[in-house]
Every structure is written in structure tokens, then in C-alpha cells.
Structure 1
């Protein structure tokens, strides 16, 4: 098997391909095609859930990343023992089904477009909210730190511990402990309500600007280093990202965040309302 060619970065939700291999997936069946529109759960940063849909008419109950070693052994998801894109390994999208299909069969692949769109909205909003949060917290840094693409101190990348994308929503959790203080961030006067108001005002402006969103796709392989871009009024923003996204900010309708301050953490819940 060669590495899977993926078409989801270009927004595809359907395709036709050959089953080129099968791999064990617990008590289910893992089907590998030469090409797929399905976005799998990423094993290194599992923020965006796997696509739903059909392969050869069968429901795809899960979709995961796998890696095939030079020896031929295949590892799934968290069991992958090497870094993403390791030379000599094949990187695969595994469509998990309850019923097997034979190698060599030509199949139609169909992604649940509504679910994909909901996840794409949640993921784009997550990136916009992170950039708006960086700007809102810029005055709380006592030391210079790495800037984001718009020039604000990159609180998001400096402090994030987890990110979870859902349909029309996301949740990001940031640490506020000793290591961040050593980097120069002071959370003593952080007012989550006031900061959220500033973030929401900026998000309102960005959605209303109706600017384009796109993914830079350097290659067709699953592990190609893709980058999210958005032509915001303040300048072009970019964030490394392997997920899916809307095409324009206006598609989001409205984006709002709520912030919750913990003892040593900050949680940001982002909600998209397209109605």
C-alpha cells in the first residue's frame, strides 16, 4: 500500500477509489483506499473528530490515521510509534466498518456533508477565536514572546493544553501556571468577562468582513504540512492545521466566546450560530 491520497483539504465530500488494503480494527474491519475524501482523527493532535459517511454503501463507524512500517506492520492511531511523516513509512486513512469489503473492489465514498460543514465551522471559529484572544491579552505580557501571524503575543500557542472541535463549537483549555509566568504572562488581573467582550467584538468584525479562508496544500498525502489562511482586515493570518474549514468568514453567521477562569487554567468555549 502507498500512502493515502486525501482530497478533504480541498473541500471534497465524495469520491471513487479502489480498496487497496485491510487492517485489523479491533472486532471491526479497517478499509484502506488509494484515495479518500474522509478526514480521519489525527493521532498527534486529535482536535477535529473523524468524518461520518459511507464506503461502498457501508456506514463508516470511525475513521482513523494509521502508519505502515517498512516491515509491513500497520499501527493504528495512538499505537503509532514514530513521528508524523516518518520517512519510509506509509501513512493511511483507515475507514472502520462493521462489515468487510474485499481488496480490489471499486467503491464510492460519501462523506456526511452536513456534519463536515458543522465541524468546519467549528474549526474555523476556533482559529479566529484564538487570534482574537491573543490580541485581547496582548497587554498582559511582561516579556517579549513569539508573535502570532497578526503580530500579537501568541498566548494560544504558548499556553494551550487541549483543543476540542465539535459541530458549530470548540473548546480550548490553556494553562496559567508557573511555566507561563516565567515566560512573562501575568494572569493576576485577568477578567474573563471583560476579555470575552473584547474577543467577541473583534470576532463580530471579522465575520462581517466576509473575507476568504483557504488551506495551503503542499501535497496530496495525508501528512503533508497544510496551513490554514484567512485574509483578515489586519493582515493575512496563518496557522498550521490539518483540519477542514469554511471558505469565507461570513459563512459562520456569528461567533461568540465565553471564558472561564480556573485556579491555574483558562477555558474558552466558542459557539457558531449560523441562523
Structure 2
């Protein structure tokens, strides 16, 4: 098991860890600063250092059970089991993911339609909506999105029982990705009084940290779907 440090504090940039598994495929620590790829959000990158060595982390993925696997960059030599390491996060990349991810939650408020897919990057992200017809006024959507961002809503996390989610299925906006089950609890991300939905990703603490955004071209993807891309504007 890898304790998910990113879940307790998304702003943590350095942390210690103990190597509990190690191979050419990846390194598992007892506590992971790195977010593993999932829910449309990429895995984190960075490096781990120890007495006499260093390994660049190219990606982070989910392993068996609750293991989080740090994928070494090409040519990097992983540390042996039992090594104490210091984890260094590629913060600029992670913070970009946090800003984009929160912006996409707000996009689902501005466009209140079922979401059929999505992807998050460090500079832009997109959601695919069940939207047969293109919106009449894209600029109005962009203006509304920036209004929500500028309102500087607090972003917080809360947990509910799986049975509570079953009783409130409308909380789930994504048709393609369902919240992970099995632990008995579901993690929710709340943005002020404007949005509440299940999510396991990392987010900014306040929407003002996103900064201004702009909407890219709205693309038709199949008979029912339209893809809306959000770009960070600096």
C-alpha cells in the first residue's frame, strides 16, 4: 500500500518515503507524493533522491491493490528496497493539472450536460459533452466560466457513503468514468455553492488560482458528442 500524500495536501512539493518494492518497471513507496494517472488526469513526474543516487520519475501509475508505481525515466536506475528517499515533485506540471482540472469542473457547470469523456493537461484540458447541437454563443460560455473563476470560490473535499451516492445519482456527471467503489466511501470535490461531484484528482484551493481561460474550437465528435477545450491564458 502507498499512502496517497497528494490526497491530504495537493500543494505538497517534497516528502520522504521508504522503498517497499523496486524493479525496472517502477518503484513503490510507502507514501506517495506523486499522483497516479487516472480519471483523465496524467500521472505526476519529478525525481527521487537518496544517499548516493537519484532517479528521474517520468510517470506515475496505479499498481496492484493500493500500490502507486513511480515509473523511472529511460536509463534511470531505481533504488533498492529499504532505501529512504526524498521525493521532489515537478510542481509546475502538477499545478497546471490542478488549475485545468478545477476549470473543467466549472465548465461542467457552465454547460450542464452529461459528460462522455475528458482529458487534462498542464496548459489545457477538454470535456466531451452529450451535445447534439453546438452552443449558439461560445463567447457567453467563456465569459460565464471566467466569472465563476474570478469569484474565487473555495474548493474543498468531503466524503459520503456509497449508499448516499446511490441515492443521489445526479452527482455523477461523467458517463464514461464512474467513481471508484469498494472502500465504502466516495470522495467529493465541492466548489463553493456552484458544484459538487465525485472526483479523486488534485485541485486548486480557490478558483481564483486558475486565472483567466479561453475556450478553443468546439469540435463535433460523433453524432451526439461535442468536444470543448479550455486553455489557460497564462
Whole-angstrom distance in 2 between the partners of 1:169 and 1:37: 23
Alignment of 1:183-222 (within 5 A): 187=132, 190-194=133-137, 196-216=138-158
Secondary structure (helix, strand or coil) at the match of 2:42 reads coil
Structure 1: unaligned runs, 5 residues or longer: 68-89, 135-154, 177-186
TM-score (norm. length: structure 1): 0.67
Secondary structure (helix, strand or coil) at the match of 1:214 reads strand
Q: What number of residue pairs does the alignment pair up?
A: 200
Secondary structure (helix, strand or coil) at the match of 1:128 reads helix
Secondary structure (helix, strand or coil) at the match of 2:41 reads coil
In structure 1, the residue matched to 2:123 is 168
Whole-angstrom distance in 2 between the partners of 1:251 and 1:96: 29
In structure 2, the CA distance between the partners of 1:260 and 1:29, relative to structure 1 (3 Å rule), is: closer
Whole-angstrom distance in 1 between the partners of 2:125 and 2:157: 19
In structure 2, the residue matched to 1:6 is 4
Secondary structure (helix, strand or coil) at the match of 2:63 reads strand
In structure 2, the residue matched to 1:19 is 19
- Of the three residues 96, 119, 127, the one matched with 1:118 is 96
Q: Give the CA deviation at 1:217.
A: 6.3
Alignment check: 8 A CA contact 2:109 2:194 kept = no
Structure 2: unaligned runs, 5 residues or longer: 161-182
Whole-angstrom distance in 2 between the partners of 1:53 and 1:193: 42
Whole-angstrom distance in 1 between the partners of 2:194 and 2:134: 29
Secondary structure (helix, strand or coil) at the match of 1:61 reads strand
Whole-angstrom distance in 1 between the partners of 2:15 and 2:202: 17
In structure 2, the CA distance between the partners of 1:39 and 1:212, relative to structure 1 (3 Å rule), is: same
- Of the three residues 238, 254, 257, the one matched with 2:212 is 254
Whole-angstrom distance in 2 between the partners of 1:175 and 1:133: 10
Alignment check: 8 A CA contact 2:17 2:31 kept = yes
Alignment check: 8 A CA contact 1:121 1:252 kept = yes
In structure 2, the residue matched to 1:229 is 190
Alignment check: 8 A CA contact 2:48 2:85 kept = yes
In structure 1, the residue matched to 2:82 is 104
Rg larger for? 1
For residues 201-228 of structure 1, give each alpha carbon's deviation from its aligned partner in whole angstroms, at most 9, with x where no partner exists. Answer: 211211221111123368xxxx773221
In structure 1, the residue matched to 2:48 is 55
In the alignment, does 2:1 pair up with 1:41?
no
Q: CA RMSD in A?
A: 2.0
For residues 117-137 of structure 1, give each alpha carbon's deviation from its aligned partner in whole angstroms, at most 9, with x where no partner exists. Answer: 111111111111111111xxx
